[in-house]
Amino acid sequence: MDNSIISPKAKIDESVQIGPFCYISDQVEIGEGTWIGPHVTIYDYVKIGKNCKIFPGAVIGAIPQDLKFAGEVSYVEIGDNTTIREYATINRGTAASGKGTTKIGNNSLIMSYCHVAHDCKIGDHCIMTSYAGLAGETDIDDWAIIGGGTLAHQFSKIGAHAMIGGCCAIAKDVPPFILAARVPLAYEGINIVGLRRRGFSNEDIEIIGKIYDIIYKSGYNVTDALKIVEECYPGNVHAKTIVDFIRNSKRGIVK
């Protein structure tokens, strides 16, 4: 903690390690076992969980880069066992969004120079590769991976277990379980390797593949394709996940 400025009002577990030249403001909570490297800035209204690692130069809790922000109290919440690498930036939420909190879940990895804007929600076990950026109110479900240098349009949604290639632009929602790449971003197949690593059975993977064949390769429009999926796979949990995601999409899904 030598040469760091740490507010005595901050709630920091005694086991937390803090490197030199850090700034930690009043309204900050940091859970046990977390490591804060040198030159880290943590502003007000930030809660960080247990056993996290925050690397040098990261800035967490700066006010939103949103002209609608009017100085209201808003928050950043980071779960347990999450790593924030060098020079990543994570902004607070806004009242205008109706959310007011930027959230990152457990066991996630935000690599160097990534940006997480106001009111974004990142789930558990997610990876943002270096230089990726999320505009405000982007939602990323559990186990998704965002490639390096990829940028997400405001209000975008990325489904669970999806993987997006590097240097892409996310302008439409990315359904769960798929691989997406190219410019403009497009469906490239399902994330077979990722699903196998996470314990999906061969039968589950085959069903997911057939569902996306109906959606993307059958020639049906999306509305009709979803009805067919429901008829072919009634009660299947993965079919329900896919159908619910697509039906709830407000931006439309990648082509």
Q: Which residues are catalytic?
A: 118-119, 136
CA-only gyration radius of the chain, Å: 20
Q: CA-CA distance, 226 to 187, in Å (whole number)?
A: 16
Q: Where are the alpha helices (DSSP H) in 66-201?
A: 192-197
Distance, CA of 58 to CA of 112 (rounded, Å):
8
CA distances from 237 to 56, 100, 139 (A): 42, 31, 21
Q: How many residues does the chain have?
A: 255
Q: Output the furthest CA–CA distance in the chain (Å, rounded).
A: 64
**Contact at 8 Å (CB) between 172 and 255?**
yes
Determine contact, residues 116/131, Cβ cutoff 8 Å.
no
